[in-house]
């Protein structure tokens, strides 16, 4: 029997270290949010319903990403292409619904920036805005593997890029669920 431990691929290790850093960033922001909320002049407001829809969209995209990874490993490239395409589309829909949510806040006279803004709405913009930037990074990674799925006749199936994209995509999904629950019920 071999007592040798299976080591993580260096790219996966680097990804996990990066995800740990992102967790610390958002832990700090949500902690600051809680502290600031206890101070005077805090504006309480409800999140627009479109944020519920965006949550459903990103959870759905995690399912399609997992199916894409499964189909890639099974070398079912036609189905893989379909699922990765759907994941990219859902990622873009998530970003669009987030922008719609911010627009709905502005339409309800909740200024996110500028002299009319309140620290509550500015925190929301920073927290959700940073998450959107991380999602856009994920969409770019998905777009790259999407383009590779349609441009290369693969004879050598290296699942690592798809696995890395999948780990990251599931992470931004879980992060949004945390942020959404936090903002909905704590905020």
Q: What's the pLDDT tens digit per position in 113-125?
A: 888 878 888 888 8
Domain spans in the chain, listed from the N-terminal domain onward: 48-186
Q: Which of 157, 149, 151, 152 is nearest to 78 (CA)?
A: 149
Please report the sign of the dihedral spanned by the C-alpha atoms of residue 147, residue 149, residue 155, residue 159: positive
Q: What percent of the chain has pLDDT over 90?
A: 63
Q: Which residues of 126-150 are buried (b: 16+ CB within 10 A; e: fewer)?
A: ebbebbbebbeebbebbeebbeebe
Q: Which of 127, 161, 174, 178 is nearest to 15 (CA)?
A: 161
Full DSSP string of 25-76? HHHHHHHHHHHHHTSTTPPP-PPPTHHHHHHHHHHHHHHHHHHHHHHHHTT-
Indicate the pLDDT class of residue 169, thresholds 50, 70 and 90. Answer: very high
Q: What superfamily would CATH give domain 48-186?
A: Cytochrome c oxidase, subunit III, four-helix bundle (1.20.120.80)
pLDDT in tens, 95-148: 999 999 989 988 888 888 888 878 888 888 899 899 999 999 999 999 999 888
Rounded to whole angstroms, the Cα distance separating 173 from 176 reads: 5
Q: How many CA atoms lie within 13 A of 54 on its CB side?
A: 29
Contact 145, 51 (CB under 8 A): no
pLDDT in tens, 11-38: 899 999 999 999 999 999 999 999 988 8
pTM attached to this predicted model: 0.88
């Amino acid at each position: 029997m071999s007592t040798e431990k299976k080591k993580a691929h260096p790219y996966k290790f680097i990804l996990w270290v990066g995800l740990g850093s992102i967790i610390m960033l958002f832990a700090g922001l949500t902690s600051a949010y809680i502290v600031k909320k206890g101070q005077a002049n805090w504006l309480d407001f409800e999140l627009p319903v479109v944020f519920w829809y965006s949550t459903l969209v990103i959870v759905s995209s995690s399912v399609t990403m997992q199916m894409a990874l499964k189909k890639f490993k099974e070398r079912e490239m036609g189905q893989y292409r379909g699922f990765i395409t759907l994941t990219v589309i859902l990622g873009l829909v998530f970003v669009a619904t987030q922008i719609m949510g911010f627009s709905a806040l502005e339409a309800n006279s909740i200024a996110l920036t500028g002299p009319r803004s309140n620290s509550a709405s500015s925190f929301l913009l920073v927290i959700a805005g940073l998450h959107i930037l991380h999602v856009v990074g994920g969409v770019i990674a998905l777009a790259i593997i999407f383009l590779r799925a349609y441009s290369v006749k693969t004879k050598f199936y290296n699942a690592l890029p798809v696995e890395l994209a999948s780990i990251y995509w599931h992470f931004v999904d879980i992060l949004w669920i945390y942020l959404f629950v936090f903002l909905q019920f704590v905020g």
